[in-house]
Each structure stands twice: as structure tokens, then as C-alpha cells.
């Protein structure tokens, strides 16, 4: 089963108000194992970069000024995504920006039926716990010491490890009967395996065994249990 883990960086929080996607990082998994295949791109947003956004990801308008527009690499990106399920942390945010960029160049949006949101998976697995990517990395012992800022490709790489843990850890394949979206729900809701209880086996000695034991004891001369020496 092929899946794509992806993350985006943007100029802000809402594409409806003119914010743009400036970076996307995608990691390919096959049967929950990274294949090494990836897609990464920076995009010139043709607008300024708010200071608040730059403080998060460190991508300045100057840095992005010579990068290609999204339209120039959209075909390459869609070819990489193909028809695979798309996994993201708080996936509605990333889908909104990806689809806004596609809409601006007259391409069809990515269907939300392909969306797998790791925030929702984490909420099922760890109710009441912190659900940020940092918190989940800490929970699963995933090293993020090299993450000093948000970066789409780095965050996708970390999320790939988190996603594997959320969907069964390294014991992959236990959920092969499930689709990728509801694998964790199905695993948690599965009925317990029926256990067969057998009656206890008798362990008491039979009459014949007791008689044989008594006969053997009579052959013992001066037994210690009777004070013999």
C-alpha cells in the first residue's frame, strides 16, 4: 500500500485571504516503510512574507524570490502524489492550501476522501494528551533535535515516523484487512479473540499408584522420616 506523508509551509493561516503555500515536502511510504522517494519544492508566492510567518519557518521573501511559481512544478507534484492517500498533521490546513494553489491554475482539487489526519489518529490513540508533532515525537522517542524551525520536508520526515507508530509501530502488516484511513479505528474496535477454556486435568494419584508407593516404602530400611539412621 502506497501512502504519501506531506507538510506545507505558508505565508499565513488562510488561503481565502490571500495567503500562499511557499513550501511542500512529501515522503513516500509503501506498507508503512519509507522508500526514499520524495518530492520537495519551494515556491515564489508573488507577495510579501509576514514577519510572523517567517519567524516560524525562516523563509523570507528574498529567499523565495528566485524560486519557481507553483504552476511550474504542479505537474511534477501531482505525478508524485498520483492516487495515494495523503497523510498530514492537521490535514485540513494543508489540503486547503494545496487545493487553493491547484484552483488558481485551473486544476482539479485533491479529493478529501484521500485525507488521513494524524491529529485525529492521535486523538483516538491518546485521548486528552498533547497532539502537536513535537509532543508526539517526544512520546514515541523520535529524535527532533535538528528541528530548530518548521520545514516542510523535515516535518514530513518526522511525521512519517509518528504515523508508523500511530498505526501499529514497526509491526506493520497486522492491519492488512483495513483501509489506510480507518486502520487504527478498526484495530481498536476489533472484538477480542475467543478463548477456549479446557477443564482442569486430574492430578491426584490413583489407587494403584498409592498401593505401589506404599509397597516401595516398605522396602526402605530405617527410613529417615521415621527416625532411622
Within a domain: residue 55? yes
In a domain, residue 44? The reply is: yes
Q: What mean pLDDT do residues 10-17 have?
A: 97
Q: ∠ CA(75), CA(76), CA(78), 5° rounding?
A: 65
Give the model confidence (pLDDT) of 125-149 as tens digits.
Answer: 999 999 999 999 999 999 988 776 7
Q: pLDDT digit string (tens) for 202-213?
A: 667 788 888 888
Q: What is the pLDDT of residue 195?
A: 58
Flag whether 173 is in a domain.
yes
Q: Is residue 120 part of a domain?
A: yes
Give the contacts of 185 (CB within 8 A, at least 6 positions apart).
Answer: 124
* 60: in domain: yes
Looking at residue 217, its pLDDT comes to 80
Say if 106 falls within a structural domain. yes
- What is the reported pLDDT for 213? 80
**pTM higher than the cut 0.75:** no
Number of domains in the chain: 1
Residue 225 inside a domain? The answer is no
Q: Judge whether 211 lies within some domain.
A: no
pLDDT confidence of residue 1? 94
CATH of the domain at 35: 3.30.420.10
Residue 13 belongs to what domain range?
Answer: 2-189
Catalytic residues: 150
| Angle (deg, nearest 10), helices 118-125 and 152-166 | 40
Q: At what angle do helices 70-81 and 91-104 cross, to 10 degrees?
A: 120
Amino acid at each position: 500500500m502506497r501512502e504519501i506523508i506531506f507538510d506545507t509551509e505558508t505565508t499565513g493561516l488562510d488561503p481565502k485571504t490571500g495567503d500562499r503555500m511557499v513550501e511542500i515536502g512529501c515522503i513516500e511510504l509503501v506498507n508503512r516503510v519509507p522508500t526514499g522517494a520524495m518530492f520537495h519544492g519551494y515556491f515564489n508566492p508573488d507577495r510579501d512574507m509576514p514577519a510572523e510567518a517567517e519567524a516560524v519557518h525562516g523563509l523570507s521573501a528574498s529567499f523565495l524570490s528566485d524560486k519557481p511559481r507553483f504552476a511550474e512544478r504542479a505537474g511534477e507534484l501531482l505525478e508524485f502524489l498520483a492516487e495515494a492517500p495523503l497523510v498530514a498533521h492537521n490535514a485540513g490546513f494543508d489540503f486547503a492550501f494545496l487545493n487553493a494553489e491547484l484552483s488558481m491554475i485551473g486544476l482539479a482539487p485533491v479529493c478529501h476522501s484521500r485525507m488521513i489526519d494524524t491529529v485525529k489518529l492521535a486523538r483516538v490513540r491518546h485521548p486528552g494528551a498533547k497532539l502537536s508533532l513535537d509532543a508526539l515525537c517526544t512520546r514515541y522517542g523520535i529524535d527532533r533535535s535538528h528541528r530548530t524551525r518548521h520545514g516542510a520536508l523535515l516535518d514530513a520526515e518526522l511525521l512519517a515516523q509518528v504515523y508508523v507508530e500511530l498505526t501499529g509501530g514497526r509491526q506493520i502488516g497486522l492491519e492488512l484487512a483495513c483501509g489506510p484511513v480507518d486502520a487504527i479505528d478498526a484495530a481498536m474496535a476489533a472484538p477480542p479473540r475467543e478463548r477456549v477454556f479446557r477443564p482442569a486435568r486430574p492430578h491426584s494419584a490413583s489407587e494403584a499408584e498409592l498401593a505401589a508407593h506404599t509397597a516401595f516404602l516398605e522396602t526402605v530400611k530405617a527410613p529417615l522420616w521415621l527416625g532411622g539412621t
